[in-house]
Structure 1
Amino acid sequence: MFWKISWHNFKRKPLRSFLTLLGIAVGVASLLAVISGITTTNHFVDQQTQKSLGKSDLIIRSTDGTFSDQVLNEVKKVSGVQQALGLVQQSARIHLPGKEKAGLAARSVQLIGLSRMDSSLLPFKVIKGNPNASGLFLSKTTARLWEVKLGDLVHLEIDGKEHDVPVVAMFEDAMFLDGPNSWKSAERNHWRALLPKDTLEKMSEQKGELEVVRVQVVASEKRQRVQQALEERMKQQNESVYTEVAVADPRQNNRLYELYLLLLGLGGTGLIISCMILFQTVYTNITEREREFAAMKALGSTPEQIQGIVLREVLILSGMGTLFGTLLGILLADLLQKGIMNAFHIPLDYQLQLGTALWISVTLGILLPLLASVLPVRRASRISVTDALRNRRTDLRHRFSKRRIWMGLILLVISLFDFTLSSFVSAILGAYFLIPVAFCMILHLMCLCFKHRVEYEMALRNALRQSQRFSNMAAILMLGIALSLFMSSVINYQEKYLERDVTAVFGGHMQIWAERFFTEEDMKVLREKKGIKNVTQVKEAPVVWQSKKGLRQMSVLGVDPKWHQSHPLFTLQRVERKTPHLNAKGTILLGDYAFYEWGGKVGEKIRLQTPSGEKAFKVTGVVNTGFDSGYVGFVGRDRMKEEFGITYASRGMVTLERNQDPKAMKEALYRDEGKQLMQINTVNEEVDWQRRAYPGISLLFAGLLAVAMGMTGIGIVNLLIMSVTERIQDYESMRAIGVGRFQIYGMVIGEGAVIGVTGILVGSALGLWLIGLIALSDMENMEFFILWPQWLIICLCGAFVTLVASLIPAFRAGNVSLPPTRLE
């Protein structure tokens, strides 16, 4: 019986129920889409990173750059090794018909020679051709851009000699063999092709050398025992190699957690807005049915039974809204995922991950509305029978509480002391507690401005009488305006000052990578080249470390302190009492992303498995850097041999003479030193490479913010319709005494205007507060920045949403029928 009562009440106000359902559905859909986007992207990156290792358990590298291919034979003799694969790389240049005008950088290709083409230790799925043939293996994207097919000959230039090599197979695109997706991007990201090591040696001067050996351990063996056995055998053979655990760590080139936080903030905001819409609906329903509940109590119904009736209504609303929201969310999730992949220009296929997103969205979609209805449900059970039957009108004016005002002020002050994510939450909660005060202040100012307009004065009086409802809806608009202002400021700041920030920590004008490693003679030749001012080496050591979430891998760069002083590779973010020195033994500076993943504190020690063994290093500071997205460590270059066991350098930094064009110098280096250099990146190319994602990200967030603003509009429509419905007899009486239809329109639109003005003003203030917090915090390397034209556009969008949301209730109020005239 109680379910029938709840269902009847649900159907009694169809428009109100529909708008509430729509609000819940959009909130659940936005949360589902965001969580799905995060889990799908995470799964995709993790899967591609894991694929890059295949079934590898251990990796053997050289401390001198390369080693003899006899190491591969020795590895296979060690007990517990199931299979091993040797890899070597060779730079080449392609000559294709119709592409002669392309620069040397765009025609550079990295040939990867494999000791076995059918090994699962470097997995790639052949889709066409013979996997056992001798020739080039190309990805399907590379083959398409080169305009070649199976059997075609590709003209390659290696070490000044020309070769025609047939295309024997094509494989599916994969991130670990990622090549350019256009000829323009090939100027920065060189092409990749696979071929048998024997074939590569016949064409090049590099014979009997390897750079890496991948090892798979027998399943029944312990990886640590096999690693020790390999190290002992390599020592017996006097090979300058070391063995490290194969770790699939996608963080080395992907810094996505900040993007995830912003997405979660938007998705959570949508669900919170839907809960506030439901709160208003339930609260108004209870207010309208006070006499009904009083009569039920007079007839013997208990408070628990009344609470059950209301809770069942909430369950119907939340259940149906969650169901529709789930269906809508699946469509929105696919759209959002396409937006994420397009923003980062990833052409690979993905599988939508909905499992986690579904159960979280469904659970919160039902649970949060129930929690939001707790106060209205308690009010329903405490209705006084005598007051209700006497038809005492409920006062919906907000009664200010000094405790609430002080709580809001305290939360705002707290947000200034702890510049972390919690400070942003404190600021938003503080603004929510204070918005009723701001609402009434703005309301009184508007009364002074429109005291000679009767319809507006009546609208403002009604808004004051229902200040509790109206201020809550203004809080929703406030949140939408603040988030829009905050996120647009962050994205626009990063895009506007991207070139400045990248240049500040690039370490020079160009970064270069050697085919094998740089010698002093190589450095001398480069320094003497016309247009080059100076060159330095940067040593690099891959290290494995244990975090709270498992094994991680990053690179430690050994840099020249004097070079860093004149051409910074990083800027200090947080340090000990004194400025750390790179050459201080046993110390390390961590990039901000590596520091975040590590989870320790400045001054504590981090244990790293280096090429020369496991060692502890004191973290003396945190730095902002563009190298490996901040997932990196820095030490002095002179310490690399003793503390990390690295004697060679394959990376270098170049500074140019004034007025020297970096692009022209890059072409000259490829032309004159192409045999030695494998890759060259200029600072301008790095800026363009990072900037390419901003249009997609901006569009992505604009779409999500539009959804949030749309939900705000739904809430305003719902609130004003409830307000109009309560006073429908008042509007009929006004029409009967001659009040015009447009005057009534003005009254309802005026009520919406109070919500709009309050939400826009307080939201703008909150947005500026949040921008100030992130400028003061260490979360982003950002200054206080706002584009005032964009702020104006956001305010106009808020006003437009409020106006459009007010029109439907206004037309409903203005088009009421005149009461019939009775003839005596």
Structure 2
Amino acid sequence: MTILAIVLGISSMFAVISTVQTAKQVTMQRLELYNGNADYSILSERDAFPEEVLDLVLKNEQVSSATGLIHKQSYVEMDSPEHSLDQKRMRLTGLSTLDNELLSLDAVSGDIHEEGLILPATSAEILGMKVGDEVTFRVPDGMKEIKVAAIVKDTPLLEGPNDWDDATNRNWRGIVPLSTLQQWYGLDQQIQEVRMHINDQYAMDPVVKDLHTALQPYDGVYLQKIVLDEKQSNQLEDLYFMLYVIGGLAMFISAFILYNTIFVSIVERKSEIAVMKTIGYTPFQIKKLFLFEVLILSVIGLIIGVPIGFGLGSVLQSGLFSSFQSNIDFSMDYQWALAASIVLGVAIPVVASLIPVTQASKIDIIKTLKKVPATNTNMSKWRSVAGGILILLSLLLTFVNNVLSIGSLLLGSVLFFPIMVKGITTLVLRSSLLGFEGKIAANNVLRALNRSSNMSLILALAICLGLFVSSTFTSLEKNIDKSVTQSFGGDMQITSEHSLSERDAGRMSATNGVKDVHLYKERNVTWVTEQQTRQFSIIRTDLEWNAEHPLFHSIDTESDKWKDRLKEGGILLGDFAYREWGGSPGENITIVIDNQEHELEVLGKVTTNQYGGYTAFMSGDPFDELFPGVLSYKALLTLEDGYKEDSIKNSLVTSYPFDFSEVQTVDEEVNKQERALPGVKSLFNGLLFIAIVVSGIGIINTLVMNVMERLREVAIMRAVAFTSFQVYKTIFYEALIIGISGVLIGIAMGIFTIFLNAVTTSDELIGFTIPESTLLLSIIMGIIVSAFASLIPARQAVKHNINQALKQE
């Protein structure tokens, strides 16, 4: 049982660590694939710029590779009336060349160097297209046909919908030759972007300065450093932390079981240890003897647990990635997980065994051989008093810090736990609810209270943590609508292919059902920390529009004059960006524009759904002064009451078929986030299930030890007409008392923890929510696991030979 617990602990830890590392690796790989090994991009504040800029870059011997790009909106002509026009949008990317290090396309079929359309495998399968098919596109100049030249493996550059329903939120993607797209869209000798890789033989700064100088004659054209900042698309630190906590809990439980096993083993072998010391064994030799036993258990656990961890990690990773509904090919990053599992899989059991092993080395020879009873200090008053004080202190700490408050509660509960188990067991003892066998079982629990409460505590901690995590997800699920709508900026967001003017806003306002249109600007910038260079978008904010239709809310600043200071040139950071920045209000953040550093005062943090909170906001005039020439490519729309978002979206798409690269309604964003949470929540419930099962193994271990110590007593009971069924019932009730104590106290701890978190958290989306499904699962699983835990020790007690047991001391 101990080895099984270690195996589950190691496999859970391996699965969690490998999942987090794989997720981080996949995010970086996707960024690298999307940006194609490029160091810098040349962009324009305008819709396009002359292709001669690309020629200028290619002639620079310091640039090893460069590619010109155009992105344009089109529609696939298909005989499928069941699909809307919106679902047939395909965003085409025109590339000047495929023969360089900036692009990585792995052909499944066809030839990527043949002129034609290149599609990702998933999109080709859903659209029913194959190499050689003629595809018709609707573009501004009419219908255009092109042959499918190649189908490639899914790649971030061409990531499209997972199915037709997903096509309402995401465009299909394809690659065509740059010249083809220039011809179709009347952009002769025009491009929208140049990506380049600078030769590694040259220092970066002088090359960048030369390029910056060369671009000055071109109005609105600028150089942008490409930063592989995973935070732009991967704000999962809280998710990773919770995964680590639950995976660590399984390992902690297994270590606690090992501690219990070694402790009981030492108690049973006291006389043997005393004899060993009389014949010359030193304390160090005795320590070494037991530590060697622990190492054997750990190595066996590693040999069995790591392969199981591979399988569990694969399931966990597939579930995590599918929750976010992306076409992700991944290979497990297990190197760090393997190293950590080997180190922790040995270190944690050794550390867990140090206390009992040290006690073994200090056994008093005379007292042990004379069988002098040891003084029971397990229920010492200081532990109970300290536990009670810490539980009360957790309420006072709600005014200080939620981590300290919750930590005080959990530590106090651990110290006070034996008293709580004793109280529940005493109630069972005094009641007749479980009959005579129940009273015997209650007495047995009280006799081994410390050991029994330890295993009940582990079950309680698993349930407490499960309820806490599930409550967080449940709160987020209930408040997704609020989370999105209070910082969406309106009812609909539009990203345009070309710059938007007030005339364009007026045309959109004329659409039936559209109430108002607000254009806004944003600029992607790099920002510098002490550790690294990062990248996010700064959004130009109209405070009047934001007051009615906020893009951010819950301003956390040290001054209520933030609006005046924002108009003077300060900056507000989204909550996630603020946390990554790590500074305090009033300090400066450093951003880089055109290779020049600028200092901006951070006024505070705001809560926003834009870019997951990894963004910043500036007022209009300071933004225009810092970023002259930036045009609006985004619009926020509000709708008249009684009009449906879908119908207005279809009207806009039909009226402006080639103008918008993205049209997102608030309901679509809500649905998108709602689809992701249940899958992630199921993963945590699965890990919680493993933790409860490991707790059940601990209960089995405890009961087996209890039964082994009472074999003579059980034999006497059977000799005076106690039936086998009554023995089964006695041990079953003992397991039930331990399990129910853990369930009841765990639920109480969980509800109290949820309350403290709701009171102390600064996140207004986290409220006092009791997850009913997890609560019910915890009760059922706790009782079932406890019931099954009684079978092995009960069978052992019944099957043991009575004569041998009666002769046992």
Indicate the TM-score class for this superposition, using the shorter chain for normalisation.
over 0.9
Q: Is structure 2 residue 735 aligned with structure 1 residue 752?
A: yes
Match of 2:795 among 811, 820, 823: 811
Deviates more, 1:540-549 or 1:777-786: 777-786
Q: Which residue of 1 aligns with 2:707?
A: 724
Match of 2:526 among 544, 551, 565: 544
Q: Is structure 2 residue 503 aligned with structure 1 residue 508?
A: no
Q: Which residue of 1 aligns with 2:99?
A: 118
Look up the SS of the partner of 2:351 in the other structure. helix
Within-5 A mapping of 1:568-587:
568-572=550-554, 574-578=556-560, 580-581=562-563, 583-587=566-570
Q: Which residue of 2 aligns with 1:284?
A: 264
Q: Is structure 2 residue 360 aligned with structure 1 residue 380?
A: yes
Render the CA deviation track for 1:689-735: whole Å, top value 9, x for unaligned. Answer: 11222232122112111111110000000000010011101000111
Q: Which residue of 2 aligns with 1:136?
A: 117
Q: Residue type of the partner of 2:467?
A: L
> In structure 1, what is the Cα distance between the partners aligned to 2:638 and 2:35?
36
CA separation of 1:67 and 1:367: change in aligned 2, threshold 3 A: same
> In structure 2, what is the Cα distance between the partners aligned to 1:170 and 1:109?
15
Look up the SS of the partner of 1:692 in the other structure. helix
Q: Is the 8 A contact 1:548 1:598 kept in 2?
A: no
Match of 2:24 among 42, 47, 65: 42
Give the TM-score normalised by the residue count of structure 1: 0.93
> In structure 1, what is the Cα distance between the partners aligned to 2:163 and 2:34?
22
Look up the SS of the partner of 1:248 in the other structure. coil
Q: Is the 8 A contact 2:383 2:415 kept in 1?
A: no
Q: Is the 8 A contact 1:733 1:819 kept in 2?
A: no
Q: CA RMSD in A?
A: 2.2
Match of 2:460 among 463, 478, 486: 478
CA separation of 1:405 and 1:611: change in aligned 2, threshold 3 A: farther
CA separation of 1:556 and 1:759: change in aligned 2, threshold 3 A: same
Give structure 1 stretches of 5+ with no counterpart: 1-18
Q: Residue type of the partner of 1:369?
A: P
Runs of 4 or more, structure 1, over 4 Å off, are: 393-397, 420-426
Q: Which residue of 1 aligns with 2:688?
A: 705
CA separation of 1:392 and 1:779: change in aligned 2, threshold 3 A: farther
> In structure 2, what is the Cα distance between the partners aligned to 1:681 and 1:313?
62
CA separation of 1:411 and 1:363: change in aligned 2, threshold 3 A: farther
Within-5 A mapping of 1:348-747:
348-394=328-374, 398-402=378-382, 405-406=385-386, 409-410=389-390, 413=393, 416-417=398-399, 419=401, 424-450=406-432, 453-572=435-554, 574-578=556-560, 580-581=562-563, 583-610=566-593, 613-747=596-730
Q: Residue type of the partner of 2:463?
A: I
Render the CA deviation track for 1:548-587: whole Å, top value 9, x for unaligned. Answer: 4422111111121111111111222522232522842331
Q: Is the 8 A contact 2:159 2:327 kept in 1?
A: no
Q: Is the 8 A contact 1:117 1:195 kept in 2?
A: no
CA separation of 1:549 and 1:772: change in aligned 2, threshold 3 A: farther
Deviates more, 1:134-143 or 1:473-482: 134-143
Render the CA deviation track for 1:486-533: whole Å, top value 9, x for unaligned. Answer: 122112222222122212211111110111110111011111221100
Q: Residue type of the partner of 1:214?
A: R
CA separation of 1:90 and 1:808: change in aligned 2, threshold 3 A: same
Render the CA deviation track for 1:262-292: whole Å, top value 9, x for unaligned. Answer: 1101110011000100011000001111111
Q: Which residue of 2 aligns with 1:208?
A: 189
Match of 2:786 among 772, 790, 802: 802
CA separation of 1:626 and 1:618: change in aligned 2, threshold 3 A: same
Q: Is the 8 A contact 1:397 1:466 kept in 2?
A: no
Q: Is the 8 A contact 2:182 2:190 kept in 1?
A: no
Q: Residue type of the partner of 1:46?
A: M
Deviates more, 1:636-645 or 1:173-182: 636-645
Look up the SS of the partner of 2:777 in the other structure. helix
Deviates more, 1:512-521 or 1:336-345: 336-345
CA separation of 1:724 and 1:231: change in aligned 2, threshold 3 A: same
CA separation of 1:610 and 1:782: change in aligned 2, threshold 3 A: farther
> In structure 2, what is the Cα distance between the partners aligned to 1:820 and 1:476?
34
Deviates more, 1:612-621 or 1:626-635: 612-621
Within-5 A mapping of 1:162-181:
162-181=143-162
CA separation of 1:246 and 1:686: change in aligned 2, threshold 3 A: same
Q: Which residue of 1 aligns with 2:310?
A: 330
Q: Is the 8 A contact 1:612 1:643 kept in 2?
A: no
Give structure 2 stretches of 5+ with no counterpart: none
> In structure 2, what is the Cα distance between the partners aligned to 1:298 and 1:487?
53
Q: Is the 8 A contact 1:591 1:633 kept in 2?
A: yes
Look up the SS of the partner of 2:648 in the other structure. helix
Q: Which residue of 1 aligns with 2:89?
A: 108
> In structure 2, what is the Cα distance between the partners aligned to 1:357 and 1:92?
45
Q: Is structure 2 residue 142 aligned with structure 1 residue 161?
A: yes
Q: Which residue of 1 aligns with 2:38?
A: 56
> In structure 1, what is the Cα distance between the partners aligned to 2:408 and 2:147?
64
Q: Is structure 2 residue 130 aligned with structure 1 residue 146?
A: no
Q: Is the 8 A contact 2:74 2:90 kept in 1?
A: yes
Deviates more, 1:271-280 or 1:118-127: 118-127
Q: Which residue of 2 aligns with 1:11?
A: none
Task: Tell me how far 1:612 sits from its aligned partner.
Answer: 8.5
Q: Is the 8 A contact 1:592 1:623 kept in 2?
A: yes
Task: Tell me how far 1:120 sits from its aligned partner.
Answer: 2.5
Look up the SS of the partner of 2:223 in the other structure. strand
Give the TM-score normalised by the residue count of structure 2: 0.95
Look up the SS of the partner of 1:49 in the other structure. helix
> In structure 2, what is the Cα distance between the partners aligned to 1:820 and 1:439?
34
Q: Is structure 2 residue 257 aligned with structure 1 residue 273?
A: no
How many correspondences in the alignment?
802
Look up the SS of the partner of 1:340 in the other structure. helix
Q: Is structure 2 residue 296 aligned with structure 1 residue 312?
A: no
Look up the SS of the partner of 1:505 in the other structure. coil
CA separation of 1:642 and 1:573: change in aligned 2, threshold 3 A: closer
Identical pairs, percent: 33
Q: Is the 8 A contact 2:390 2:408 kept in 1?
A: no
CA separation of 1:232 and 1:770: change in aligned 2, threshold 3 A: same
Look up the SS of the partner of 2:100 in the other structure. coil
> In structure 2, what is the Cα distance between the partners aligned to 1:611 and 1:781?
39
CA separation of 1:384 and 1:186: change in aligned 2, threshold 3 A: same
Render the CA deviation track for 1:47-79: whole Å, top value 9, x for unaligned. Answer: 111111222111111123432222222333445
Deviates more, 1:483-492 or 1:665-674: 483-492
Q: Is the 8 A contact 1:612 1:644 kept in 2?
A: no
Deviates more, 1:786-795 or 1:583-592: 786-795
Deviates more, 1:32-41 or 1:732-741: 732-741
Match of 2:165 among 154, 162, 184: 184
Deviates more, 1:601-610 or 1:64-73: 64-73
Q: Which residue of 2 aligns with 1:91?
A: 73
Render the CA deviation track for 1:92-132: whole Å, top value 9, x for unaligned. Answer: 111113x2331111011111111223233233233332333
Look up the SS of the partner of 1:165 in the other structure. strand
Q: Residue type of the partner of 2:736?
A: A
Task: Tell me how far 1:426 sits from its aligned partner.
Answer: 4.3
Q: Is the 8 A contact 2:393 2:405 kept in 1?
A: no
Task: Tell me how far 1:821 sits from its aligned partner.
Answer: 13
Render the CA deviation track for 1:361-413: whole Å, top value 9, x for unaligned. Answer: 11111111111111111111121222222234556672224256326633773
Q: Residue type of the partner of 1:794?
A: S
Q: Which residue of 2 aligns with 1:10?
A: none
Render the CA deviation track for 1:301-343: whole Å, top value 9, x for unaligned. Answer: 2222222211111111122112211122122122222222222
> In structure 1, what is the Cα distance between the partners aligned to 2:555 and 2:294?
49
Q: Is the 8 A contact 1:774 1:780 kept in 2?
A: no
Q: Residue type of the partner of 1:143?
A: A
CA separation of 1:176 and 1:429: change in aligned 2, threshold 3 A: farther
Q: Which residue of 2 aligns with 1:251?
A: 231
> In structure 1, what is the Cα distance between the partners aligned to 2:725 and 2:96?
84
